[in-house]
Structure 1
C-alpha cells in the first residue's frame, strides 16, 4: 500500500508538472506563430518592392515600414484635412450597400478593441440562457419606447471569438450592471472565463 501511495504521488507530481509546462508552452507557441505570420505578411508586401533597390532581403523590414506607414496614416487622420477626407470617403462608401455593411461592421469591431475609442459603452450581465445563469453583454446604445419604457441595446458576443454574437434590445430593468471594464470583459470572453474579475454585484443580485 505504501509503494502504491508513493507511485501515485510521483505520478500526480509528474502529471501536474507536465500540465504546468504545457500551459506555459501553448501561449508562447501561439504567440510565436502569430508574430511570424504577422511579420511575414508585411514582409511579403514591402520586400518585393524594396529588394530591387536594396539588392538583398531584410527580415522584418516589411513590419517596420508598415508600422511607420500606419503611424503617419494616424497622424494624417487626426488633423482637420485627414478627418475631412475620411468623412468624405465614408460618405461615398455609405452609397454602396454591401460595402457599407462590411465597412461599418469592421469599424465597430475595430473600435471595440481599441482603448482610446470603444464601440461599447460598458459591460453588463443579462440572465441568459436560463434562470440564475448570466451572460456577459456589451451596451451599444439606449432607446425609449412610445410608452416611456427605457430599453438597452446589447451585443452578446460568443467565446472565445467575440467578433460574432447576437444583438439584443431588452428593458433597462433586465440589465445587471457590472464593475468590469470593456477590456476586462473582452479578456474574460477570449479566455473562456478563465480570466474573470470578481463580480460582487452579481452575487448580490442572485441573493435577492
Structure 2
C-alpha cells in the first residue's frame, strides 16, 4: 500500500507543481492585463467600457498580449530609431535621483544575464562554503572590479552561491581561482542538482577544463 502511494505521488507531484507554477504565472499576467484595462477605462469613452470588460474575462489573453508586446518592443529596440529613443529614455532615467540607482543596477545585471554575448552563469564550479571542508555549487559571474579588486592580490573570481531549493536568492563571493574546482556539468544540470537538494545528481562528463572567467564588466 505504501509503495503504491509513493509511486503515485512521484507521478502526480511534478505534474501538479508544474501546473501550479504555470497557473500562478498566467494569473499574474492576467491580473496585470486586467489592471491596465481598468486604467484605460478612465480615459476612454463609456461605449468602450463594455468591450474592455469582456476582454478581462478571456483567460490567457494577458499572456498573448505580453508576448506580442515583447516582440514589438524587441523589433523596435533592434533598429536604429528604436535604439536612439531607448538611449534617450535610459539617459533621462539615469538623471532622476534614487531611480537612477535602481534602474542602472537592474539594467546592468539584466544586460549581463540575458545578452547573447554575455558570459555570466555560463559555468558551474565547486567552492568551499560556508567553511573550509564544506563544499557547495556556485556559478562564475566574472572577476572582482572597482575598489574591491584593488584590495585583492592575485587571481580572483566572482561567484554566485545560490540557496536551495530556491536558487533565486544566494550569496556573492570573491575567492581565489586556486580555491575553485571547475565542473563540466552544465548550468541547467547544476541548477537541478541545487533545487533537488542533491537528490538529482548530474551525469559524469569528461575531466573539467580550466576556468575561464568572463571579462570584468564593472571596469
Relative to the length of structure 1, the TM-score reads 0.71
Higher relative contact order (CA 8 A, sep 6+): 2
Measure the CA separation in 1 of the matches of 2:109 and 2:34. Answer: 32
Distance 1:191 1:110 in 2: 29
Q: Is 1:149 matched with 2:154?
A: yes
Q: Is the 8 A contact 1:47 1:61 kept in 2?
A: no
Structure 2 unaligned runs (5+)? 38-47, 209-219
Contact 2:120 2:142 in 1 (8 A): no
The number of equivalent residue pairs is 188
Query: Counterpart in 1 of 2:129?
Result: 128
Report the aligned-residue RMSD. Answer: 3.3
2:75 aligned partner: 75
Residue 17 to residue 83, structure 1, CA distance change in 2 (3 Å):
farther
Asked if the contact 2:119–2:141 (Cα under 8 Å) also holds between the matched residues in 1, the reply is no
Aligned to 1:27: 14
Change (3 A) 1:58 1:66: same
Q: Tell me which protein shows more helix as a share of its residues.
A: 1
Larger Rg: 1
How far 1:171 sits from its partner (Å)?
Answer: 0.9
Aligned-pair distance for 1:90? 3.6
Q: Does 2:168 match 1:163?
A: yes
- Which deviations, in whole Å up to 9, do the C-alpha atoms of 1:27-75 show, x marking residues without a partner? 2222222222322333334457387237743322222222212222222
Per the normalisation by structure 2, the TM-score is 0.68
